[in-house]
Amino acid sequence: MPFATAAGRRVAAAVLLTATALSLTACRGGSGTATAAAPATPFTAYGDTTSGTGTPVACTPEMLTFRAGPAGGGKRPDGPLLLTVTNYADKECSFAAQPYPLLRLTERQRTAVPAIEASRPPAPVSLAPHQSAYAAVRTHHTSAGHPPGRHHTRISQFGVALAVGAAPAQVGLDSRGPVRVDPDAARVTYWQAHRADALRW
């Protein structure tokens, strides 16, 4: 290997010193300790009422109170029922994941009461704190293609679930006595923002 000249050695030494200084500058902060850049992480505002994606959280039974009773004030023993749900939590919630209540009118039911598809609102209902939503329950269904059922029974409470697979919460009826229903023919509306919209069906 050929020898380097003195001038070449001086140039090489200068390059080496410069490279070393640059390396130390890159690896050390002003305090003399190594530093590294980290990506910035935005904070979620304290008391944020959304899921972190700009949408309300899903409504859960722990956030809500339920009331149910005859829609006509109990004048008809086989009339529709009105289910009212109120958000008493301090944050907004939505029924987008399950837009109608899953009802279990009797213990022998294996599937939830079907929804009245025509009652689907333009957008899923969301509840601000202290706001209510409504769903009407047809205790009998006699429209074309759906003959009346034959398994009438009387109930003073029924189960309401807000998600598939969830255990129904029992809701008592605000009435003087049991209400007659036909679990096989009953139907329920989607959640509605206004009482009148629920009772249309």
Can you tell me the distance from the alpha carbon of 147 to that of 187, in angstroms, rounded to the nearest whole number? 13
Can you tell me the distance from the alpha carbon of 86 to that of 84, in angstroms, rounded to the nearest whole number? 7
Give the pTM: 0.69
Q: Is the CB of residue 131 less than 8 Å from the CB of residue 64?
A: no
The tokens for 22 are 């640059």
Q: Is the CB of residue 157 less than 8 Å from the CB of residue 168?
A: no
> How many residues are listed for the chain in this entry?
201
What is the arithmetic mean of pLDDT over 109-120? 95
Pick the more confident residue, 76 or 67.
67
pLDDT band for position 66 (50/70/90)?
very high
Flag whether pLDDT at 18 surpasses 90.
no
| Residue where the block lists tokens 């899921």 | 51
Flag whether pLDDT at 168 surpasses 70.
yes
What is the arithmetic mean of pLDDT over 40-67? 64
Q: Is the CB of residue 109 less than 8 Å from the CB of residue 149?
A: no
